[in-house]
Amino acid sequence: MELLIFLIAIVMIGGLIVMPALRRRRGGREAMQGAMRASDPQEYGFVPREWLDVRLPGPDRQLIDALEEVQARQDWQPAARLLALTDATSELRWQRVQTLAGAAAFELAQAPGQGGMWLRTWRVAAPEDPGAAAVQAEFLVRQALLDPSSVDFRMILEEARDVCHEAARLAPDDPVPHIIELGVARGMAYRQADFEELWSKVTKLAPHHMGAHLAALHYWCEKWHGSQDRADVFTHAAAASAPEKSLLPALPLFGVFEHLPEANLVRTLYRSEVIVKAIEGALFAVRQAPADHPVLPHVRHLLVFFLVRAERYAEALEQLRHVDGHVGAVPWSYGADPAAEYTVYRALAVAGWEGGGGSPATLPR
pLDDT tens digits for range 123-137: 999 999 999 999 999
Question: Residue 40 — very low, low, confident or very high, per pLDDT cuts 50/70/90?
Answer: low
Residues 28 and 109 in one domain: no
In a domain, 256, yes or no: no
Q: What is the pLDDT of residue 265?
A: 62
Residues 53 and 95 in one domain: no
Number of structural domains found in the chain:
2
Where does a domain end: 184, 206, 228? 206
Residues 47 and 86 in one domain: no
Residues 71 and 126 in one domain: yes
Q: What is the pLDDT of residue 338?
A: 95
Residues 75 and 202 in one domain: yes
In a domain, 337, yes or no: yes
pLDDT for 28 beyond 70: no
Residues 99 and 130 in one domain: yes
pLDDT for 8 beyond 70: no
Alpha carbons within 13 A on the beta-carbon side of 290: 6
In a domain, 347, yes or no: yes
In a domain, 14, yes or no: yes
User: pTM of the prediction?
Assistant: 0.88
In this structure, are residues 248 and 238 in contact, taking their beta carbons and an 8 Å threshold? yes
Residues 50 and 69 in one domain: no
Bridge partner list, 326: 53
Q: Which domain holds residue 341?
A: 1-59+294-364
Q: What is the pLDDT of residue 263?
A: 72
Residues 192 and 69 in one domain: yes
CA-wise closest residue to 324 among 62, 51, 60, 95: 51
Where does a domain end: 172, 206, 240? 206
Q: What is the pLDDT of residue 64?
A: 96
Comparing 263 with 112, which gets the higher pLDDT? 112
Rounded distance, CA 278 to CA 122, Å? 42
Comparing 267 with 222, which gets the higher pLDDT? 222
Q: What is the pLDDT of residue 229?
A: 97
187 exposure class (CB count in 10 Å sphere: 0-12, 13-18, 19+): buried
Question: Residue 289 — very low, low, confident or very high, per pLDDT cuts 50/70/90?
Answer: very high
Where does a domain end: 149, 172, 206? 206
pLDDT for 184 beyond 50: yes
Residues 105 and 16 in one domain: no
pLDDT for 89 beyond 90: no
pLDDT for 259 beyond 90: yes
Percent of the chain with pLDDT over 70: 88
In a domain, 263, yes or no: no
Residues 28 and 76 in one domain: no
Average model confidence (pLDDT) across the chain: 89
pLDDT for 92 beyond 50: yes
In this structure, are residues 94 and 140 in contact, taking their beta carbons and an 8 Å threshold? no
Percent of the chain with pLDDT over 90: 80
In a domain, 235, yes or no: no
Domain CATH for 166: 1.25.40
pLDDT for 312 beyond 60: yes
Q: What is the pLDDT of residue 332?
A: 97
Q: What is the pLDDT of residue 235?
A: 98
229 exposure class (CB count in 10 Å sphere: 0-12, 13-18, 19+): exposed
Residues 124 and 2 in one domain: no
Q: What is the pLDDT of residue 364?
A: 78
Rounded average pLDDT over 268-280: 95
Residues 124 and 45 in one domain: no
Q: What is the pLDDT of residue 305?
A: 98
In a domain, 222, yes or no: no
Rounded distance, CA 35 to CA 353, Å? 10
Rounded average pLDDT over 192-211: 97
End-to-end CA, the chain: 30
pLDDT for 324 beyond 90: yes
Rounded average pLDDT over 71-85: 96
In this structure, are residues 71 and 103 in contact, taking their beta carbons and an 8 Å threshold? yes
In a domain, 242, yes or no: no
pLDDT for 55 beyond 60: yes
